[in-house]
């Protein structure tokens, strides 16, 4: 039996992938559900999320949004053209989607501005240590781990869960209607792009991962994949938990120059500049 995996079924059907990949997705489902079904997104969908919490979310998640093309670039550095079919698939995927992620960063800025977050606060506000954990994790795994693990942690896990929670937020129009008519298109662009039911990015990542590992990965490879995917989900959940309940605050630190503060003065949980 050949160890090479070649997809023959539809891209976005789990039965098109090898048995081990189907089992991997099943084992990670509970961790993903804790992100997708998070209380923060329910409140956002139902128009019940406090404005201050939304601002914390938009500012605190910005480092991941801004750095996402860089995570992909770190994985691109691991690829040699023409070496394997899986590497060539990954190269095409990463080169094509780095530019897409740049557009997504611009749409996040538009969402933040429409929500009352200034560009200065978005770019330069101190971000709390618990909310920086996700971006540090993404950078670490894309820099230090294999191509398979880096793409699994980011393009499969984070992009996949993000698409699903965006679908949840957009499943009702209460949040969209909270914006003035002239602002709705730009305010909702990021959410609506990620809520598209035909978003293929996570499925393409799963196909690349399956192609790189073949039909019979080692037990160690499977265990590592399970760990990095669930780590990404867990760091996402930690970020959301912290937005809703900062029960343990880091010690306050204020940067000063000649006795005057040099960072934006924000109320709430922000205590560390990322």
pLDDT of residue 196: 81
Element containing residue 261 per DSSP (H, E):
strand 260-261
pLDDT of residue 263: 53
- Asked whether 209 and 225 are in contact (CB, 8 A), the reply is yes
List Cβ neighbours of 183 (8 Å cut-off, separation of 6 or more). 114
What pTM does this model have? Answer: 0.89
- Distance CA(15)–CA(13), nearest Å, equals 5
Q: Choose among 17, 7, 27, 16: nearest CA to 229.
A: 27
> Is 1.20.910.10 the CATH classification of the domain at 30-261?
yes
Half-sphere exposure of 42 (CA within 13 A, CB side): 7
The torsion angles phi and psi of 256, rounded to 5 degrees, stand at -130, 150
**Is residue 214 helix, strand or coil?**
coil
CB count within 10 Å of CB 273 equals 13
Q: Considering Cα of 215, then 220, then 225, then 226, what sign does the dihedral take?
A: positive
pLDDT of residue 269: 41
- Distance CA(117)–CA(55), nearest Å, equals 6
CA dihedral 184, 52, 259, 256 (to 10 degrees): -80
Strands (E), 119-247: none
Q: What is the pLDDT along the chain (274 residues), one digit of tens a residue?
A: 468 999 999 999 999 999 999 999 999 999 999 999 999 999 999 999 999 999 999 999 999 999 999 999 999 999 999 999 999 999 999 999 999 999 999 999 999 999 999 999 999 988 888 899 999 999 999 999 999 999 999 999 999 999 999 999 999 999 999 999 999 999 999 999 998 855 789 999 999 999 999 999 999 999 999 999 999 999 999 999 999 986 544 555 555 556 665 555 444 444 333 3
**Neighbour-count burial of 182, counting CB atoms closer than 10 A to its CB (0-12 exposed, 13-18 middle, 19+ buried):** exposed
Name the DSSP class of 40: H
Gyration radius of the chain over CA positions: 19
pLDDT of residue 199: 79
pLDDT of residue 232: 98
pLDDT of residue 254: 57
């Amino acid at each position: 039996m050949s160890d090479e995996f070649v997809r023959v079924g539809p891209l976005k059907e789990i039965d098109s992938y090898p048995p081990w990949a189907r089992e991997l997705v099943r084992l990670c489902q509970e961790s993903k559900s804790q992100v997708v079904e998070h209380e923060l997104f329910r409140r956002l969908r139902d128009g019940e999320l406090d404005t201050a919490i939304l601002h914390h979310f938009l500012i605190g998640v910005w480092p991941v949004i801004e750095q996402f093309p860089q995570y992909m670039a770190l994985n691109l550095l691991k690829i040699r053209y023409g070496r394997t079919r899986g590497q060539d698939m990954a190269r095409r995927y990463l080169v094509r989607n780095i530019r897409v992620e740049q557009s997504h960063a611009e749409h996040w800025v538009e969402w933040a501005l429409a929500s009352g977050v200034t560009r200065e606060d978005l770019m330069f506000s101190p971000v709390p240590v618990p909310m920086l954990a996700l971006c540090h994790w993404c950078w670490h795994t894309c820099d230090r781990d294999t191509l398979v693990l880096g793409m699994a942690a980011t393009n499969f896990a984070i992009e996949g869960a993000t698409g699903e929670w965006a679908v949840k937020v957009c499943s009702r129009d209460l949040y969209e209607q909270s914006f003035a008519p002239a602002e709705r298109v730009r305010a909702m662009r990021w959410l609506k792009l990620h809520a598209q039911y035909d978003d293929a990015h996570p499925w393409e990542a799963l196909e690349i991962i399956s192609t790189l590992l073949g039909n019979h990965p080692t037990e160690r490879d499977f265990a590592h994949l399970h760990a990095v995917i669930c780590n990404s989900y867990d760091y996402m959940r930690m970020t959301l938990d912290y937005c809703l309940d900062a029960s343990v605050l880091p010690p306050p630190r204020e940067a000063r120059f000649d006795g005057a503060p040099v960072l934006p003065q924000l109320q709430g949980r922000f205590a560390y500049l990322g």
